Amino acid sequence: MSASVPEGVRDASIERKAPDHLPWRRGIARVLYSPAGRFRTIVFQAGQTRRVGRDERSDVRIADPALRGAHLEIYFDGLRFHAKALSADAAIAIDGKPAQFGEIQSGGFVVAGATTLALHVERRTPAPEATDAPFGAERARLVSEVVAALAPSRETWSLYGVLDAARDPRVRVLLAEGIDEHASLYEGAEGAILDEVAPYLVRFAPDSKLLERLVTEGWGRAWGVFAQSAMGSKDVRRHFRRFLMVKDETTDERMFFRFYDPRVFPEFFSVATPRQQSELLEGLSSMSMETEAGHVLRLASSSVEPASSMDA
């Protein structure tokens, strides 16, 4: 995974100011498919334009041999995106149709070279009306307390989540509409086929609202687990990938281990040997998850104890 691309050189001639009445939300371009890798996240401020291509002529460089040096530009007006090819032979496709320029709504796609970018507006879709979790004042209090309990307790630590897309399609929607870097724990072409049901590692950005959205809609619905660590995203992802498959000690049969299910992890952890506990938490300061009563359960190699006594 790669962090959000920093501010690049802008073309002042095409930079425009977003209308004052537009909501202050950022635009997100995420690499879905590319020879350079998947899930890279590029964040747009309202009114910002970025040039995308292969070399220094672009603000956003993607190592795709099929891209020109400066292949296309993408402008985000605060509500939607506008893509334009930068030359007649710089082919692009917008939502599956060949084009030289066009408008793209949140959830749309643009293809350039062998790279596909998915475009979303931050926090674009509201929570579904039908949900198992009530959204009253008590729920708001719970969300606030859970978010505070999950936050990293040291400046050098980051908060990560492993979220289960198989539990609810809404998980992928919230990930797509967040600026936070994330990636499937599955790899390769075979892993891409399982994107809709994959576990996703997400590293929460300090200025993101994603954690609050996930807790608001998903706390109590077994969407995933959370961890604090001083390690970078690649190392945390490598760590968690070790536990996707485990071997049955009696039959030697390999099977999936849903460690990211908060209903599974505490039970396994409570009967695991000290060595197994240490391996599960290697490089992590702790792991946290929901209990059936809505508490935050924090697990460490030498303890299993609630971090709070909140009731759902």
By 3-state DSSP, what share of the chain in percent is helix, strand and coil, each rounded to 5? Answer: 20, 30, 50
Q: What is the pLDDT of residue 312?
A: 37
- Nearest alpha carbon to residue 104 among 125, 129, 79: 79
The second-level CATH assignment, the architecture, of 27-121 is: Sandwich (2.60)
Cβ-defined contacts of 241-249 (< 8 Å, 24+)? 241/185, 241/187, 242/279, 243/280, 244/185, 244/186, 244/199
Strands (E), 122-207: 158-164, 181-184, 199-203
Gap between the Cα atoms of 228 and 283, Å rounded:
9
Q: To the nearest whole number, what is the mean pLDDT of the chain?
A: 86
State the average pLDDT over residues 90-97: 95
Report which DSSP code applies to 36. T
Instruction: For residue 28, give both structure tokens.
Output: 């997100």
Q: What is the pLDDT of residue 236?
A: 97
Banded model confidence at residue 104, pLDDT cuts 50, 70, 90: very high
So where are the chain's domains? 27-121, 137-306
Banded model confidence at residue 127, pLDDT cuts 50, 70, 90: confident
Does position 23 have pLDDT exceeding 90, yes or no?
no
Instruction: Say if residues 95 and 82 touch (Cβ distance below 8 Å).
Output: no
Per-residue pLDDT reduced to its tens digit, 218-241: 999 999 999 999 999 999 999 999
Per-residue pLDDT reduced to its tens digit, 182-224: 999 998 877 889 999 999 999 999 988 999 999 999 999 999 9
Query: The pTM is what?
Result: 0.84
Banded model confidence at residue 16, pLDDT cuts 50, 70, 90: very low
Per-residue pLDDT reduced to its tens digit, 67-82: 999 999 999 999 999 9
